């Protein structure tokens, strides 16, 4: 009965009394019980608490009281956002028993909108990875092919969405961690402008890059979620002042196409993707041309340097952010430590996984005496040049389009021995975070193995309303976003 | 810059990072980090004379708030995740050496 409904349809059905939130939550919990043993998307499921939340919403509706825009909707949250229910592990052994004493701003917003939080999803440890294989706690597979990765680092949220084990999910994106798993799992993933959504209560990775965003089954649902989450919060000093960037009604004009749409493309970038991805991107551009859009070829001469700049900047920030895991205040403490230095060095060595250690060391190296100018300062200058590439592109067009990932979902284990190969999987997504601009991944096709392909639409800062309208234009004439994997529970 | 990372530097960086790595990890990470650092040298291809470093994407400035007392975490909540505690304190191994007789 509920299968195939998007979040807005479900919300409307609940609000109109056609079904109850309890029924929706029970259906979702049953699906998780049947399917998740084979997918591994959830790290924790809050069955009792979710049913309590559903009962509260149902009671409000029965009493004719007003309800929020996410009334009764089962939602999943990436496990790096603090929620007072259960644990917040960040996919790490070092936080395996951490019980947050407060809710993240994004979680507060969901609850205030009457959403029901069904569980927390798996992720690459501290959001460092592109396949969710760096989780210290659990393996997650792609619902389209369980021998393949779901992408990462928000792989649990993307897999839960693709398998219909929630109606919307939250992820975070530091270098592509919402868009890339959305692409690999055949759903919509939106990385908003840096500062659009408060990160209060989000476990920090790369603070000048991190952003929270929704993973949904369609563009309309992404607009709904963004409307709930966006806005100023004084508890995050990078949260943007709404006088500078007001929060528009993202759903209001969503169905209205953009007249005389100009799309910037970098042809040689599209050609770099594997054939199936390249062809799907080109077919999508052809469809936009049929809508009356004009393609504008642009140059992005510094794009090719974005991975190198990112892995200096993000790791430098991570090395500083993760210094707080000291075995003293919260998190894992090694039982083998004999003095206070060993409390740090053994707790961290035993608590962090390999990729987190590599990134902490790389960042420490880039910031260390004698290397700071050569690596960190250099990367910040290149970051400025990369941002300039975007500014120049947006001077000529409304948006920029390119693939999300160079390939469709790759095999589990295929890249785990070679960190650099894993980093290169982020080639199309990383520059967006360096520039701080928004990007959305929408389903645009399938390869010959019936693995999903995503199209990335990127716009200037705070152009999410326009990006979503552009995405909706494509979605209204295609049904890629409606297709779901065949699953056996 | 043409400054790659060798085994000795990996050991130094592990120490600075307070990571007590095993021999096997030091060996593995030395190779992997050298490959990544070599890739990063790519940045040298770009001339950046006169380019301002960009630490932050948005034109946001220092944010001030009123110096007013607001509710914050209760002591018990703040200590609830502590690996070890004594009364209202986080408990850690001795930091100061008292063998000096001072």
How many contacts does A have with B, using Cβ atoms within 8 A? 178
Q: Kindly state whether residue B92 falls inside one of the protein's structural domains.
A: no
List pLDDT tens digits, range A115-137. 999 999 999 999 999 999 999 99
Q: Kindly state whether residue B54 falls inside one of the protein's structural domains.
A: no
DSSP string, A192-247: PPTTSS--TTBPPSSTTT-EEEEEESSHHHHHHHHHHH-S--TTSTTSPPTTTS--
**Interface check A205 vs B, CB under 8 A:** no
Candidates A130, A131, A177, A347; catalytic one: A177
Cβ neighbors of B72 (< 8 A, separation 6 or more) are: none
Active site residue A65: no
Q: Kindly state whether residue B21 falls inside one of the protein's structural domains.
A: yes
Searching chain B, which residue's CA lies closest to the CA of residue A416? B32
Q: Which residues of B touch A361 (CB under 8 A)?
A: 10, 13-14, 17, 19, 29, 33
Give the helix, strand, coil percentages of chain A, each rounded to 5. Answer: 40, 15, 45
**Interface check B45 vs A, CB under 8 A:** yes
Q: Which residues of B touch A233 (CB under 8 A)?
A: none
Q: What CA–CA distance (Å, rounded) separates A287 from A473?
A: 10
Task: Give B83→chain A minimum CA distance, Å.
Answer: 6
Whichever domain contains B13, its CATH number is 1.10.20
Across the interface, whether the CB atoms of A240 and B57 are under 8 A apart is answered no
Whichever domain contains A133, its CATH number is 3.90.1300.10
Q: Within the 419-458 window of chain A, which residues sit less than 8 Å (CB to CB) from chain B?
A: 419-420, 423, 434-437
Q: Which residues of A touch B66 (CB under 8 A)?
A: none
Sign of the CA dihedral A173, A179, A181, A182? positive
Task: Give B66→chain A minimum CA distance, Å.
Answer: 11
Q: Kindly state whether residue A1 falls inside one of the protein's structural domains.
A: no
Token pair 């000795």: residue? B8
Which residues lie across from A172 on neighbouring strands? A212
Searching chain A, which residue's CA lies closest to the CA of residue B57? A436
Cβ neighbors of A357 (< 8 A, separation 6 or more) are: A349, B17, B19, B21, B25, B29
Across the interface, whether the CB atoms of B17 and A361 are under 8 A apart is answered yes
Q: Kindly state whether residue A352 falls inside one of the protein's structural domains.
A: no
Q: What CA–CA distance (Å, rounded) separates A467 from A442?
A: 11
Which residues lie across from A442 on neighbouring strands? A455
- Per DSSP bridges, beta strands A168-173 and A211-216 are antiparallel
Across the interface, whether the CB atoms of A387 and B54 are under 8 A apart is answered yes
Q: Kindly state whether residue A271 falls inside one of the protein's structural domains.
A: no
Q: How many CB atoms lie within 10 A of CB A268?
A: 12
> Which segments of A97-178 does DSSP mark as H helices, in order?
105-112, 155-162
CB–CB of A427/A455 below 8 Å? no
Active site residue A131: no
**Domain ranges, residue B20:** 7-44
CB–CB of A102/A359 below 8 Å? no
Q: Kindly state whether residue B20 falls inside one of the protein's structural domains.
A: yes
The helix/strand/coil state of A472 is helix
Q: Kindly state whether residue B23 falls inside one of the protein's structural domains.
A: yes
Searching chain B, which residue's CA lies closest to the CA of residue A391? B57
Q: For residue B58, give the nearest of A374, A379, A436 by CB distance.
A: A436
Q: Report the number of distinct structural domains present in chain A.
A: 1
**Residue A45 φ/ψ, nearest 5 degrees:** -125, 130
Q: Kindly state whether residue A326 falls inside one of the protein's structural domains.
A: no
Which residues lie across from A453 on neighbouring strands? A445
Active site residue A153: yes
Q: Which of A242, A322, A378, A425 to mutate to test the interface with B (most CBs of B within 10 A)?
A: A378
Task: Give B43→chain A minimum CA distance, Å.
Answer: 6
Q: Which residues of A touch B13 (CB under 8 A)?
A: 361, 364-365, 368
Q: For residue A330, give the nearest of B20, B32, B81 by CB distance.
A: B81
Element (H, E) at A444: strand A439-446
Across the interface, whether the CB atoms of B17 and A360 are under 8 A apart is answered yes
Q: Report the number of distinct structural domains present in chain B.
A: 1
**Interface check B82 vs A, CB under 8 A:** yes
Cβ neighbors of A280 (< 8 A, separation 6 or more) are: A403, A444, A445, A446, A447, A453, A455
Q: For residue B56, give the nearest of A208, A341, A382 by CB distance.
A: A208
Q: What CA–CA distance (Å, rounded) separates A358 from A344?
A: 17
The helix/strand/coil state of A437 is coil
Task: Give B61→chain A minimum CA distance, Å.
Answer: 9
Q: How many CB atoms lie within 10 A of CB A69?
A: 17
Omega within 30 of 0 (cis) for the link into A270: no
Whether ipTM tops 0.95, in short, is: no
Q: Which residues of B touch A437 (CB under 8 A)?
A: 57
Cα Rg of chain A (Å, integer)? 21
**Domain ranges, residue A40:** 7-264+394-482
Burial class (CB in 10 A: 0-12, 13-18, 19+), A7: buried
Q: What CA–CA distance (Å, rounded) separates A57 from A60?
A: 5
Q: From first to last of its 489 residues, what are the pLDDT tens digits of chain A?
A: 788 899 999 999 999 999 999 999 999 999 999 999 999 999 999 999 999 999 999 999 999 999 999 999 999 999 999 999 999 999 999 999 999 999 999 999 999 999 999 999 999 999 999 999 999 999 999 999 999 999 999 999 999 999 999 999 999 999 999 999 999 999 999 999 999 999 999 999 999 999 999 999 999 999 999 999 999 999 999 999 899 899 999 999 999 999 999 999 999 999 999 999 999 999 999 999 999 999 999 999 999 999 999 999 999 999 999 999 999 999 999 999 999 999 999 999 999 999 999 999 999 999 998 899 999 999 999 999 999 999 999 999 999 999 999 999 999 999 999 999 999 999 999 999 999 999 999 999 999 999 999 999 999 999 999 999 999 999 999 999 999 999 976
**Interface check A391 vs B, CB under 8 A:** no
Say what the pTM is.
0.97
**Interface check A231 vs B, CB under 8 A:** no
Q: Kindly state whether residue A33 falls inside one of the protein's structural domains.
A: yes
3-class secondary structure for chain B?
CCCCCCHHHHHHHHHHCCCCCCHHHHHHHHHHHHHHHHHHHHHHHCCCCCCCCCCCCCCCCCCCCCCCCCCCCCHHHHHCCCCCEECCEECCCCCCCCCCCC
Banded pLDDT at B28 (limits 50, 70, 90):
very high
Across the interface, whether the CB atoms of A436 and B57 are under 8 A apart is answered yes
Q: Kindly state whether residue A344 falls inside one of the protein's structural domains.
A: no
Sign of the CA dihedral B68, B74, B75, B77? negative
Q: Kindly state whether residue A338 falls inside one of the protein's structural domains.
A: no
């Amino acid at each position: 009965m509920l299968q195939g409904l998007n979040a807005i349809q479900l919300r409307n059905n609940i609000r109109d009394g056609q079904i109850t939130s309890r029924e929706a939550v029970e259906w979702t919990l049953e699906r998780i019980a049947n399917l998740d043993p084979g997918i591994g998307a959830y790290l924790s499921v809050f069955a009792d608490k979710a049913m309590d939340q559903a009962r509260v919403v149902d009671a409000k509706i029965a009493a004719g009281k007003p309800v929020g825009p996410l009334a009764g909707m089962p939602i999943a949250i990436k496990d790096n956002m603090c929620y007072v229910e259960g644990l917040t592990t960040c996919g790490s052994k070092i936080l395996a028993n951490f019980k947050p004493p407060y809710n993240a701003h994004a979680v507060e917003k969901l609850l205030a909108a009457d959403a029901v939080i069904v569980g927390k999803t798996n992720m690459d440890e501290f959001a460092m990875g592109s396949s969710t294989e760096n989780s210290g706690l659990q393996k997650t597979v792609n619902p389209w092919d369980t021998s393949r990765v779901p992408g990462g680092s928000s792989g649990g949220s993307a897999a839960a969405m693709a398998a219909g084990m929630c109606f919307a999910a939250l992820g975070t994106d530091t270098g592509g961690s919402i868009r890339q798993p959305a692409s690999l799992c055949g759903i919509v993933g939106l990385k908003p402008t840096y500062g659009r959504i408060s990160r209060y209560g989000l476990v920090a990775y790369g603070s000048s890059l991190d952003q929270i965003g929704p993973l949904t089954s369609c563009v309309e649902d992404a607009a709904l979620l963004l409307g709930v989450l966006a806005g100023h919060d004084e508890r995050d000093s990078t949260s943007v002042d709404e006088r500078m960037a007001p929060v528009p009604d993202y759903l209001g004009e969503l169905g209205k196409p953009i007249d005389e749409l100009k799309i910037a493309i970098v042809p040689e970038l599209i050609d770099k993707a594997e054939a199936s991805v390249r062809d799907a991107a080109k077919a999508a551009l052809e469809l936009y041309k049929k809508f009356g859009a004009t393609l504008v070829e642009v140059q992005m001469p510094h794009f090719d340097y974005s991975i190198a700049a990112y892995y200096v900047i993000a790791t430098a920030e991570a090395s500083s952010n993760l210094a707080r895991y000291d075995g003293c205040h919260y998190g894992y403490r090694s039982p083998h430590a004999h003095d206070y230095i060993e409390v740090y060095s053994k707790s961290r060595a035993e608590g962090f996984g390999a990729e987190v250690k590599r990134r902490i060391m790389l960042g420490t190296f880039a910031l260390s005496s004698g290397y700071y100018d050569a690596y960190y300062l250099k990367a910040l200058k290149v970051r400025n040049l990369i941002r300039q590439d975007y500014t120049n592109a947006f001077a000529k067009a409304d948006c920029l389009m390119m693939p999300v990932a160079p390939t469709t979902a790759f095999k589990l284990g295929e890249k785990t021995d070679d960190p650099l190969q894993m980093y290169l999987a982020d080639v199309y997504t990383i520059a967006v975070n360096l520039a701080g601009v928004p990007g959305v991944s929408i389903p645009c096709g399938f390869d010959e193995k019936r693995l999903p392909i995503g199209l990335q639409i990127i716009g200037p800062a705070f152009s999410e309303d326009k990006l979503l309208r552009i995405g909706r234009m494509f979605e209204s004439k295609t049904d890629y976003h409606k297709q779901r994997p065949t699953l056996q529970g | 810059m043409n400054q790659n990372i060798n085994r000795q530097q990996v050991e130094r960086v592990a120490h600075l990072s307070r990571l007590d790595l095993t021999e096997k990890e030091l060996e593995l990470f030395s190779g992997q980090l050298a490959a990544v650092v070599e890739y990063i040298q790519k940045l040298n291809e770009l001339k950046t004379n006169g380019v301002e470093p960009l630490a932050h994407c948005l034109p946001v400035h220092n944010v001030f708030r009123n110096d007013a007392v607001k509710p914050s975490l209760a002591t018990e909540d703040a200590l609830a995740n502590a690996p070890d505690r004594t009364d209202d304190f986080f408990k850690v191994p001795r930091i100061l050496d008292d063998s000096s007789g001072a």
